[in-house]
Structure 1
Amino acid sequence: MPHATESTLPSGAAPADALGTSAARARSEVLEKQIRKEPGRFRVLTGDRPTGQLHLGHYFGTLHNRVRLQDLGVEMFVLIADYQVLTDRDVADNLTGHVEELVLDYLAVGIDPARATIFTHSAIPALNQLLLPFLSLVSVAELRRNPTVKDEITHSRQSSVSGLMFTYPVHQAADILFCKANLVPVGQDQLPHLELTRTVARRFNDRYGQGHSVFPEPEALLSRAPLLLGTDGGKMSKSRGNAVTLAADADETARLLRGAKTDSERHITYDPANRPEVSSLVLLAALCQDRSPHEVADDIGPAGAGALKKCVTEAVNEYLAPIRARRAQYAQDRGYLRQVLRQGNERANTIAEATRNEVRQAMNNHY
């Protein structure tokens, strides 16, 4: 889920730069120490839109953080944002299938439904009812200038964009705040959404809190690799056809990586600023091998892009082999996938209804 975005904050609020990338990285280091010391203090909300199978960018951007946090003892809520898929009408036609594919990816990477609540938007009415009061706290200008929304609109395959697209950041705020999550593992491109969530929480508390905080201001926990490039050198994305999915087999992975964009310089170095495409491939191999990217680059050196792609392909296929095996096993029991969702939805509903009632009481709208 969920560079700071400019926003109009209430008096005394933290500046938008407080959630800029460099500040978020520094804060993440502090949070990591606190998590290891007292994991029970934290509740995480994270999730994805079911628009297709998850890919390596998702995995190293946030999925592995979810599993790690779960294993440390942090309370975990994993949202399948099926209502937000209505902004992608071609995907919404097979929504049930996409939801199940997402559950498969979650289980395959190690998210444990006994320790994590996996649930869907459409099954939690009280969560969605928070959208209206939250929208009243945000200006149209703030929604228009959200960089993630602008990027989604730019790359949309539709002839027109629905109004739902503009509510997307506020809907994410409802996702995070309904369970009062105080920690959100994200890639750097999601920082603007989280900043808006913090703004919504702050404004609700200021307007309706009567001296106490109804909602926490959740913090970002950046992953080890906040951004991996796709095979075309752009942002890795399901919709752009430039991603290696977790479900891809070894041959498909090799084919995709063979076609990955590099540059004309033969000697392989790790230089993200000047050689982003090559460096992204080096970083991917390093993450899979648990090595330094500089070590990987030095090993390949003058052997060139062909050797780099071979190294990356072998590293990715070896790393994903057990994940793919678990995915295939879970795929044989679709009834179990539906059971996971039923149980997660029941728990999320209980929490959402309690939060909605608290919001009504704070707004003097309870009867």
Structure 2
Amino acid sequence: MSRAYLRLSHLFSHSWLQIKGDPFLQDSTEFYQREAATFINENPINEYLEWIVFKYIENEDAFQNFYWRLLAERLVYERSVSIDYEQMMITELQKKCAQIYTSKLQKMIENFNSKEKLMEEYQQHCKSQQSICNGMREKENVLCKSYKFSPKNIVSVDLSIMVLATNLWPFSIVSDFDLPLALSSSVDNFIQFYYHRHSKQKLIWLYQYSRGELHAYFTRSTYILQASAYEIAILLLYNDSLEWTIQQICKKTRIRTDILIEVLYILITSDLLTCLQINKEDLRETNLQMEHIIRLNDDFTSDKICINLNKPLKTINKDTIKPIEKLPDGDYKFSTQREKYLLNDRLNHS
């Protein structure tokens, strides 16, 4: 779960505004995003917060529900422009809506920031086991030569983990599944490290938000695949066999059936895998059956060296994010505000 990038236009992900009942905020935010690239300091952000967002917060509970959910997604997927800007938003909300309103949001930021210290401690723990790790690396170097798919960091483990307090975040577990052996040893090592320091806590793994990279060696060119944990688990099976039935994949990985079908559909449409019973032109998620054979596509080619397979899953979004509360007053007051805004805009330009 790495990589962070700075892009001002992504600061306020407008997806939290794309909700029935918020057309004014949605349109104004989209306009701001188009113009944000010209801003080089913090003042326009503060002006945006004051003029566009806080001026039109009339239902604080509903707004907090929107912001809480989308803030969680930005932090976990590391799509936020800057933690400082997220903190700025929360600070301004606190001024407008009182501290109790923003306490959960503030604790989420603190929880997220604790990741850096935790991973530093874990790296020190790994260094203390250097002799063991060296022995593992020698063995893994040999294995890599025969792999069709290899985790990017199988030789030198580079694990990044966020530990989230369950009472702060809107996530819930979908279902457990079996990590590939190439990854489970690293996760087990972290579990031992964490429980040694926090013996009274229990870790519940949210694999649906986990992602990583694979190197594909079965083609002439080596490709880097950015994939979800589910996709990694499936693709690593093809180091052992070129063909698996969906039933066999389900049994090996223990991925829930509806999630598995959706993930396989993504991998087949990306041409990495093929279904022997269905032509690609006729392929639909609903057509995939448990007895169908899924084969590795030996003829796979791509113009891109780095291929992003990690697409949002409808099943995950539906089942794991707590629902947003519907605005009690419907669309009327927001549509009225928008008409007022448009009218003022016309008058100012007449």
Q: Is TM (by shorter chain) over 0.5?
A: no
TM band (smaller chain)? under 0.3
* TM-score of the aligned structures, taking structure 2 as reference length: 0.27
Whichever of the two has the greater Rg, that structure is 2
* TM-score of the aligned structures, taking structure 1 as reference length: 0.26
